[in-house]
Structure 1
Amino acid sequence: MENLDFIWKRLNFFQSADTTQRFLKNGYHNLGVNDAELKSYDNCYPFMYYLEQGELFYNQAALSPFSIKPILLFYGLVHLLKACILTTDPFYPSSTSVLAHGVSARKRKKRQYYFYHDEIKIQKYGLCPHFSEQMFHVKHLEGEKFIMGELFSLVAELDDAFLFIKGKSNMIVLQRSNTNLITIPREASDLYHMDDKRLKQYLNDKYKGGQISWQGENDAEQLTFERKEAIKPPFREHIFKQVTCLPARLHSNNTLPDMIIHYLILYNLSMIARYETEWWFELIKTTPNSDYPFIKTFLDITEKKGPFLVYQYLMQGQPL
């Protein structure tokens, strides 16, 4: 992975009205937006300001105490997401209903509360359902509930923590050649309880990047596909080890995009840091259970991966 400084430097290429207006206009033309040129002029400065404000939050998070880091990282990601939304929704925000977070946290129990087992719920309106639909075509999230531990398990970079703390791995590391051919090991068929044919069909159905270009159709020993673009669910990219992974078990959330996962976890952590001060500081000061290492490791990851995901999204179809 390019280091974080490199990502911000690339995102700073957009800090030019001419460049950003042209970038947005091309995108709007491809979407068939009426008055694409006018809307690109209207949105180029908000787009630039969202990116700049997002970077300021991330920079401040890097310098701030752990106790307030989730708040800064969450709002950093929110601003970067708003820039991304403007590439697909030229009329954002079209109403005040899309300005809310779009997620709610359940009332917390004062005793024996574990963040790992905590649950959040997606609301009908707000930023979360809006960017999920606009950016990733993920619809019908209203009323869906997500458990933090299950979301953690889909973060590829957290796999070492799971292996050490829980004694299990959540990811299957796929073999990748220099020609961008990715081989799925036999282990995947065993863990998914499928033969190669069924596994291939399952991945074709679930893959968010379109139909997979499979290689070696007659090879019964392995499934190999060609990577033609940025990795998308159900596959996951480990940005530090630079490997492609597949979740080690079938789960309804396997196709949830990384950006939604990071948003949901950061939302919950930011709410706790703001409103559950007693529990939050007891966690930080006494570290009574495995919540702390998971949270600490996740915050270290998302500080780097959030901007990377945004950069990757904006550069779709262009040289990365």
Structure 2
Amino acid sequence: MMSPLSVWESLSCFHSAEMAQKYLKKCYQKISLNEADVQSYNNCYPFIYYLEQGELYFKQALATPLSIQPILLFYGYIHLIKACILTIDPFYPQNTSVLAHGVTSRKRKKQQYSFLKDEIKIQKNGLLSHFAKEMFHVKHLEAEKYQMGELLSQIPEMDDTFKLIFNKRTHIPLSLNGKILSFPDEILHHYHMSEERLHQFLKEKTENKVDVQDGQLSLQDSVYGEIPPIRLNNKTSQYSLSCDRTQAYTLPEPIIHYLLLYNLSMIARYETEWWSELLKSNSSDDYPIIKNFLYLSLEKPPALIKNYLLSNL
């Protein structure tokens, strides 16, 4: 997996005002903004500050106890997301409605609470809906509910954890030869599809980000990183396909990490008794799952942001 340092080294190229302005100007020209020069100048320092502040939170999380890691990771991630939003929304924030988190967590029951079964609900306004629409063209998330287990099963690096704890596979690796993606027969059996049907299914689900030619599935030239439901495992540098076709199946992974980190940050802040008991007693399978996810979160969200920003180059 890419080390945190190398991600920050890659992002440090944006820490120059001259570079940031040139980069933002190119982004704004792509969206045919008339004031590309003016807005790139206005936004170059906020863009740099968001990246720098995000980096500080993540580096501090690396050196802090697990008990407060979710809070630092979530707020660090928010700053990185805001830097990305500035590349596509030159006038962000235009109103206060986009500043709220945009998610609510349900009231927890004290008895028999399970993190994997816990749900969050998407609100109409807020940062989540805004960056989902602006960055990934994902709309109509309002009032959608997602379980933590569904979200975690869509992260390819969590596959080993699910296999060890639940004897359940969540992702099946794909082979990539040049731009051609190959699937093991295991996927065809699991999905109950012929190869031809699977190709068409994925072409539709990825919104034509993969091509089908001569009976083969290939990546488009413009693809950089993940193309849900085909996801990139940073640990193995391999594409994989999720076994679980849940509601989160086609959610871009940056959104998935936002939802999980939001809920864990709320638990760390407001469910202190349950959170402290979990960390001290290791009383349930929630503990290794959350611990492994937070360990992954020190690296994966910044890597996703890096991929997003570099794709504009």
Cα-to-partner distance string for 1:235-259 (whole Å, 9 max, x where unaligned): 0111011111001133332110110
Cα-to-partner distance string for 1:234-293 (whole Å, 9 max, x where unaligned): 101110111110011333321101100000000000000001100000000111111000
2:246 to 231, 251, 258: 251
Structure 2: distance between partners of 1:72 and 1:23: 28
Instruction: Tell me the percent identity.
Output: 50
Structure 2: distance between partners of 1:215 and 1:303: 39
Tell whether 2:95 aligns with 1:95: yes
Tell whether 2:18 aligns with 1:18: yes
1:214 to 203, 212, 224: 212
Report the equivalent of 1:188.
187
- Which amino acid is the alignment partner of residue 270 of structure 2? Y
Would you say the 8 A contact 2:99–2:126 is kept in 1? Answer: yes
RMSD of the TM alignment (CA)?
A: 1.3
Structure 2: distance between partners of 1:175 and 1:199: 15
TM-score by length of 2: 0.96
Structure 1: distance between partners of 2:158 and 2:30: 37
Report the equivalent of 1:220.
none
SS in structure 2 at match of 1:315: helix
Report the equivalent of 2:136.
136
Query: Structure 1 residues 242 and 167 mapped into 2: Cα distance closer, same or farther (>3 Å)?
Result: same
Cα-to-partner distance string for 1:160-200 (whole Å, 9 max, x where unaligned): 000010101010111123x2432122222221122222211
Would you say the 8 A contact 2:153–2:244 is kept in 1? Answer: no
Structure 2: distance between partners of 1:123 and 1:2: 33
- Which amino acid is the alignment partner of residue 250 of structure 2? T
Structure 2: distance between partners of 1:224 and 1:48: 39
- Which amino acid is the alignment partner of residue 70 of structure 1? P
SS in structure 2 at match of 1:81: helix
Report the equivalent of 2:199.
200
Q: Which runs of 5+ in 2 are unaligned?
A: none
Tell whether 2:292 aligns with 1:294: no
Q: Which stretches of structure 1, 4 residues or longer, exceed 3 Å deviation after superposition?
A: none
- Which amino acid is the alignment partner of residue 204 of structure 2? D
Query: Structure 1 residues 158 and 25 mapped into 2: Cα distance closer, same or farther (>3 Å)?
Result: same
After TM superposition, give the deviation of residue 232 of structure 1 in Å.
Answer: 1.2
Q: Which moved more, 1:246-255 or 1:89-98?
A: 246-255
After TM superposition, give the deviation of residue 227 of structure 1 in Å.
Answer: 5.7
Tell whether 2:44 aligns with 1:65: no
Would you say the 8 A contact 2:146–2:247 is kept in 1? Answer: no
SS in structure 1 at match of 2:232: strand
Equivalences for residues 1-320 of structure 1 within 5 A: 1-177=1-177, 179-208=178-207, 210-217=208-215, 223-226=216-219, 228=221, 229-230=223-224, 231-318=226-313
Structure 2: distance between partners of 1:272 and 1:211: 37
TM-score by length of 1: 0.94
Structure 2: distance between partners of 1:19 and 1:158: 36
Would you say the 8 A contact 2:54–2:75 is kept in 1? Answer: yes
Q: Which moved more, 1:186-195 or 1:120-129?
A: 186-195
Structure 2: distance between partners of 1:211 and 1:86: 24
SS in structure 2 at match of 1:176: strand
